[in-house]
Amino acid sequence: MSGKVYPLHGNQRAAVDPRECVWLSASAGTGKTQVLSARVLRLLLQPDTDPSQILCLTFTKAGAAEMAVRVNDVLARWVRMDAAALAGELKAIGAPFDPETQARARTLFASVLDTPGGGLRIDTIHAFAQWLLATFPEEARIVPGSRPMEDRERELLSHDVLADMLLAAEREGDTATLDAIARLSREKGPDGVRTWLMRCAGASELWFGPGSWQPPMRPRVNRLLGLEADARPEDAARLCADESFDVAALRECLAQYREWKGKTGAAAVEAIDGWLEGDGSMRAAGIEALAEALFFKNGNPKLPKSADPAFSGASARAGECIAKVREFLGLLALAENIAPLLELGRKFALLWEEAKAREGLVDFDDQIRRAADLLGRADMAAWIRYKLDRRFDHILIDEAQDTNAEQWAIVFALIDDFFSGEGAHDGKLRTIFTVGDYKQAIFRFQGTSPENFEAARNRVKREMEAAAKAAEDTSKAAGMLFSEVPIRRLQEYGLGHSFRTGQPVLDFVDRAIEAVGFAELGLGQPSDPHIGEARAGLVTLWQPVTGEALDGEDDEGEEGWLSRHDRQMADRIARQVGRWLDDGFPLVKDKDNPRNAGPGDIMVLVRKRKELAGLIVARLHAAGVPVAGVDRLRLGAPLGVKDLMAALRFAAQPLDDLNFANLLVSPLGGWSQEDLLEHGYRRPGIRLWTHLRASREPLVVETLERLGALLARADFELPQALVHWILVGPWQGRRRLVARLGSEVNDPIDELLNAAHAYAAAYPASLQGFIRWFDAGEGELKREAGEGGDLVRVMTAHGSKGLQAPIVILADATGTPPSGGALTLVEPVPRGDTGRSVPIPGLPKNQRLGPIAAAHEAAMAEEMREHWRLLYVAMTRAEEALFIGGSLGPREKGEPHADSWYARLRPLFEGDGLADDLWGARWELGTPAPRLPVEDPADRAAERTLPDWATKPVGPEPRPPRPLAPSSAGEDTGADPPLPPEMLREAALRGTLTHKLLERLPAVPVEEREQVGREWLERQGQGLSADVRREVLASALAVMADPAFAHVFASDALAEVPLAAIVEGQVVAGTADRLLVEPDRVAVVDFKTARRPPETLEQVPSSTVRQMAAYAAALAQIYPGREIAAAVLYTQAPRLIAIPAEVLAAQKAALSTAQESFGRPPVEPADRGPK
């Protein structure tokens, strides 16, 4: 369980000493979370430590939650634990276990709960920054009430800011802005424009503060590229002058070319002579022609076979001079291109900051930057500590290798006076505890760098050593033997014993690190060998899948757009997992209870979140293997969400043919592709919706009726209500989607509902607005680590950080390494530790010159180091078995890339491998666990037999107080024969209009009723012919004129009266057409418009009788003690049929027992005034 305390040994026990500052390097699986939790417990046990003085910073929300649960569970158990057990747990973490310490341990849970804020502050660095800014908005210079920006808000706001910038540029005639955007759009596309602008918006240190970049930027860009600030193309002439250019080398080449009898030699002689005769400007203009004459495109010199040996040296010297001129001109061209883009980026960044302030939004980068700035000012930091009335004296940092430079700035601001100044001399013990692992630094794409980890360690170590030396010097100067200030130095420990993984797997990990090279991982020295659990372990290499066409494989099917080799790889993984589950795969981590693997014991890892992950999930699902789905995906990507959004788009715009067709063939529409072809084929220019509305085919009519119900709600329902109706209403959308797509569609559906609720909370209700908001940024659906259950997990190697599984599959180990990310150049800053990072747009290879080429090479080298560190993380997720595989597409030509994981690991496996009917061949290392008996499927089925209570009828469930509408108390079983759809619609409209006339006309003077009724019908009954309208009016007037119905339409009778009461435990709610309330009697009348009205009570449909019984029962609760009379008025005859009390009572018996009045009566005789 999460609150279990494990005994600590060796460096683990030394690292939790609360008196020391510790820098801990913990390899994968060595129990760092347990050590971190024990460190917090040891600090809390210190008599002079208050829980409010402890701050724990983690990299992920899941890590923060796990740590908080561990600590709180332990503290809660300590409260009620007996003395012997408590002493044992205190001893296990190296704490004193005397009675005084035990007494304090029992009070810690309450102390933590009483801490301001509700407990220990265990946060991600972003959450801490957010809390800090929310507490001090004015000091941080943000608008009070500002909130973190969500991804969709970021996307929408960036769209709006760009649109505003374009409109302003057009309005003001800003051709520079328009030209820069046009050029960028041509080169990078519309998405590339926003990507570049958002990169510039993120480089806020460039545009704000001292030394910020201001237009014109060309001089500054020149210096950034290593040129003079005022460099111009004309300056190339100086590089071509005899004083700068090695003309002697060029003349040596000329002499050799003169002896070369051929076209190439002659061309070279002509080019060199012409170039030497020109002045500097002419030489600069002809540098490309000179290079083409002397060198091939690959850079090799053109030289005759009989060339003098000295020719190579002369050619190389001339080539260096040519390259210098070409690079100068190339850098000038780059500066000319980059400067306008940076000016465009600055303009957007300023507008972006204004927009965020206007909307009260703060993005993640703002949180870190502003929090660091807030704490970095000495006067402000002291003020903040005073206002908070708390001081963090103990800082703990988890996953420190993934903390970037700005985040470290926050940490250093918090520990600024730990070791010097007032903080070091006030008698308080202050500590920092940091745990991380350089080998697991894999989040460079989020701005982290393991070099920051090393730099932070060196800084803390340096400051502590300086503080210790200062204390010693002070003591010596005062003639004291011992210093009054405790002298402490940073304690550095390593954890190398893995409690997760078997030794055979770790032996393979050590060999893999050796094969890759410790320097390739970015390590300064070889890492210590891994020590694991002494148990069986297996590492298997599968032969790569080559993607050759198989019999019966269809490249034109629904998955034809996916690469064949990925499809085959996913298929083989699914078959392999199925075999393990059917045949048994032994697991022996629990030595006392070995068992065969289940679905939850298997983790499939991919390097990138591409099609392969989704294919693996689909193949596992098709094979009947329980699978959790991918760990993270875009909310708009799952098919279930696409189908629901297609329904919403249809509701907003039914004339979108493509979307409508998508909806029809989705599970929500229920059509097949053949149905769409059969019913949707039409002449050009006719909308699909229009075409289908003219059809009378049963399938089309039924579909359009369902779609019509959706359209009828679209203008009145909130987006979230509309999605809910589609899912659980008449469409039964969730049931249909799960039936087609599997249970894994439920999570994305729920997240779509959450997104709709989030939109409703922040924006005005609008279906079109929700669609635009959703499309702006699809959000990300992340499955947390504990949500897998007994299911196969499919995730990226990055997402697996902190997780483990007995069996791990590396599914795309043959993949090519990364090709580098966004480029930046660093501008040196006077008197600054680090320079400013200047974004550089992506450039083709031939344009990467000078500093840009060097920056690209450095970035590629770091990408490769992270590529190998990611391999380390992936391998160390395995507890007992590691399987390595991959597939090869046409580009690989049968061989994986030399720097792929597969290629580097393949030499570790010797021999030709073992024959394998699924993979062709496999290679194995380690010791497999002994096989265990496999349960017979019948036995497993018997174990899964449901208990009796699960299959027995539960019986009538107590009815919740949900309203029962009397008008829907049952199906109408009257004698009216079925009608065609168009006649049904007409009949329904006739009935509605008749009801409305009988509701409205009684209040109109008798002589005016016909005129008023005719005018009203002309407005409201346009769907009926004039003859039908006359029939409706005549019927209504005849009813009101009949003396037999005078009491129904008397002036004191009420029309359209809402009723509600709880009758026999059931809420009854409805609207009575006419209600007459008298002191001792209440009469209710309901209108019916049947074309063939019954002549006797016995012919009245039972559903109508049940309806009137429900009305009568409700009225009996509302008006207790009065006689209740009920009747039905058939307007077609007209005929009034009373329902006797005994008939009503017989229907009421179907209701259950309890009775309760529901509200006050709708009206009393006294409320109506004089009659």
> Residues annotated as binding site for ATP?
26-33
Give the closest residue to 1148 by CA, choosing from 1098, 1113, 1107, 1097.
1113
SS3 for 1021-1086, per residue? CCCCCHHHHHHHHHHHHHHHHCHHHCCCCCCCCEEEEEEEEEECCEEEEEEEEEEEECCCEEEEEE
Answer whether 1137's CB lies under 8 Å from 1050's CB: no
Is residue 7 within 8 Å of 71, Cβ to Cβ? Answer: no
* 350 to 208, 330, 823, 838, 1144: CA distances (angstroms): 9, 30, 22, 16, 76
**What is the residue type of 97?**
F
Burial (CB count <10 Å: 0-12, 13-18, 19+), residue 183 = middle
Closest listed residue to residue 602, CA positions, set 617, 612, 592:
617
d(CA 132, CA 126): 10
| Cα–Cα distance measured from residue 348 to residue 201, given in angstroms and rounded to the nearest whole number | 7
Comparing CA positions, the residue from 293, 241, 239 lying closest to residue 264 is 293
The SS3 call for residue 921 is: strand
Question: Quick one: which H or E segment has residue 595?
Answer: strand 595-596
Sign (positive/negative) of CA torsion 714, 720, 724, 727? Answer: positive
How far is it, in rounded angstroms, from Cα 644 to Cα 650? 10
- Supply the DSSP string of 716-742, one letter for each residue: TS-HHHHHHHHHHSTT-HHHHHHHHH-
State which H helix or E strand residue 147 sits in: strand 147-148
Q: Within a 13 Å sphere around the CA of 258, how many CA atoms are in the beta-carbon half?
A: 8
8 phi and psi angles, rounded to 5 deg: -100, 145
Give me 202's structure tokens: 């993120």
Structural tokens at position 174? 């800003």
Residue 560, CB-side half-sphere exposure with 13 Å CA sphere: 6
Q: How many other β-carbons are positioned within 10 Å of the β-carbon of residue 734?
A: 19
HEC sequence for 824-848: EEEECCCCCCCCEEEEECCCCHHHC
Place of tokens 């993270």: 632
Residue 195 C-beta-side C-alpha neighbours within 13 Å: 14
- 3-state secondary structure string, 735-751? HHHHHHHCHHHHHHHHH
> C-alpha distances in angstroms, 261 versus 253, 265, 312?
14, 6, 19
Q: Which of 127, 156, 62, 146 is nearest to 778 (CA)?
A: 156
List, edge to edge, every strand of the sheet that includes 1135-1139.
1054-1063, 1066-1077, 1081-1088, 1123-1130, 1135-1139
CA pair distance 51, 120, nearest whole angstrom: 6
CA 1077, CA 172: separation in Å to the nearest integer? 74
Which positions make up the binding site? Answer: 26-33
Cβ 344 vs Cβ 197: under 8 Å: yes
- Are 47 and 459 a contacting pair, CB within 8 Å? no
Using alpha carbons, select from 438, 392, 495, 451 the residue that is nearest to residue 36. Answer: 495
